[in-house]
Structure 1
């Protein structure tokens, strides 16, 4: 053998190294691998087995061709040239380069082929096996993936626990969660003396919607490591699927033994909130806050609980503190502070907080509360001036501002002025959907059915997916017992757009009632009432029940809902017709 193999050993690192300086280096992550796989993140420096290959002109040419192509962005040509060269030279370094470039350029099949060759040429390469595992996950090929993961786990030694915990993240992209679950069971079988193996099993069970196995396997993990917070939370999660209260008790008992378990205490507090045990939930959040007084999430949770418990002064203290902690949504905090100031009879402070809410998700809500509070303070003209100034500064808010002004004037028994505000706003924006709908409802209440229908039909033209426009027009016709075929078709269209809307379901029930289909009406009205026990829906449902001979049921329904809504005129009128 002459010096040519040595020349190859010198030339190849120089060429491959040059690419790192001239082109973005493709990596296993570029292949879209969900994890670094389960092995160690870094492979210890080692020299792979290298072949004795004579450096020929053809080899040198292919190396240079592949690199020049990569530098010019022609990754298809580059990876193909490298793969061909790797197959002929059997050099693992070239196979690695082919795999990296193919992965980077999303040539998945070629990347798989190159990576398999790389691993064949260097069976001890953790990096090659990691890359192959990621590619097989992305290709959804679990049968080929499993032996690679088993080999990676076998290489882990003392780091096996950490890798077992990553196992489910590695398998997350597999489409068949049951197969992923079975794979986890098989892969963890040699490592059952480690609590992480049982944790991985519990996690896979929950992903496969097997809460019983998840509970049992998390329990095994806790037997091996009783203080492990993550395992306790996994066990509680599994139990909450069937018995949320038992899951809450489980966390409470755990905290008696391990009172410093912060994550468990946080979840315990959240579970108490879900159970509406606000006093105990607040105590738990305050306990967490004792160790983390500047945690915005915890301070926010305690503030909200204080509000729910009507401790407005306490809540105000917490929310003011949040502003100093740079809460990610300061406008929400200011909105809450305005509401708290109102509850504490501090109207001027409340106005200041509302006015300080900036543009964004909470802006219009704050403006609405601002002008409503001004009106309640006897400063209606000031409130109207604020709304008009707001509309002038932001034409996009003009329609909302007009509707707010309309509501203020209507509440002040100035109906004519209120209606003029809406009509003027509509004249300025004749195709605004909100204004068309609101003015149609005003016309309906004033019994100007022709104008109401005209506005609703125009709204349907402007916004064909406005479910409540179809519903309002259809219900108006049904309530007057007119054009029932058209009314039913309109309401049916509304239901297509919003199939679970209780008011549209109520309208369908009412049009069927008008058509004499009492059983069909009952089905829709009962469903509407189950979704929303509204007094007007109760009036319709009770009337149909009464006419079907279910009079005791109707009377019980009416009296129950009337006790909850004593001022509802529609329900009261219905009851008087049947129970004078």
Structure 2
């Protein structure tokens, strides 16, 4: 079967572009298609709000008028706060809980919830007030102590921060967080040797090795201990098998500042072998090659604390602990408001919660001329499209296209946006311009050819689509998505049937748990008249993707052809209940009433009746 939205999302994983890892994670998050669930939840909240006499807005998000939050009962505001938090609207949630706290100031549970939500929303000053209240009630709140330590560090009181952190709990996650923050606070005091001894506490757990070696490198670098710094940088890079983007950036800046530009160039080139189009490293490579001056990664000791919080947030996000990741990224920004990596991380979490406008507000804080600013503007364009502001998104991408004629990212984003809106000719044109900019295509560019091929195919320009599919396979011979799409297309057209079948079978072999690809094989067998085999594959596809209406519809057709008519009717009804595309509904209803007509005549070039026409 043709690739639907879910499979299109998968191709983004392999697309190599600047900030690839962030873009990948954001696109995969958007591919989860949470919008329908969110809309249903908002409708449910509207009913609940009416029951509890709450103010109901077109969105739970606050309008900026605090008085609207003050309306309604305490219990209603509590429910509204819980709901707002459940959909990621920390702004509204923190405001609702703040109002509940005003009416019930001695409620420790509400105090804690309001504190956490204020942190998540970036209301650090308000959260700090609550942190002091929590600390008065209980000395066991490690996060409250950390927030108070941030307050002291931001104010230059490193001594006070060290005193506080020495008394803080080091259990569980605090066994990582407290030593990192304390070590940098000690640097601020002027106790460099003591700070490194504090980091040795992290040796107690193997999982903290990278944090220990990286911050050992940063502290020695900050203290201008070049030999010790380099040793720790290299240890970190070796442990990471080449180094993460952030570590390579930090070590590269260290080398450039020491006048070792050739070593920096070699470091950057090594990274680009893995991510050839990474704009941050490409920019660094050009800077090192021309021996331009470079700003240190960390200028003050508090920058080191911000770096620690950012690293912790990134680690938590990898473990899908999004709420905690958001809090620690906010603490990083409390100390370093213009920190681009932290702004990007918070913006990404907001995008995952479909809070596109606040995400864009964060992205505007990143310097446009920087590599991080470039990626931020690409994300802004995507978010504008998500907010149904297509003209603004296109205008921004057109501007970026002109600004950097050496980059393909704006054109790829433009092609993706047009494709998602079924503007296939415009999509193909954008991908075409991107491919022309590249010149010689490398292995990682198979995704561009694949994307353009799909746009051509959906525009009924098969003569252009087929060569792109084939060239994509030349670049990536066993790419299952390409094998699946081209193989099924050939079967659908009655062309190259033997080769096409082998291609789809190979795709299933490579991706045996991909319900959509298994469905393609099942439907291909159906089209070839091998109904028993089709039923077997389609039943497996339905077990892998039970929520998909098209796969259920396909299984119904196959079951009818093997004489299992009652089961076929059940599958068609199930497909109808799963809300298929509107143009397929009449066909499915007719099959429920009449079944499938008998096959009078078929040949290898004539496909049987049934399916959805895709």
TM-score (norm 1): 0.41
Between the two structures, name the one with larger relative contact order (CA 8 Å, sep ≥ 6). Answer: 2
Q: Which has the larger radius of gyration?
A: 1
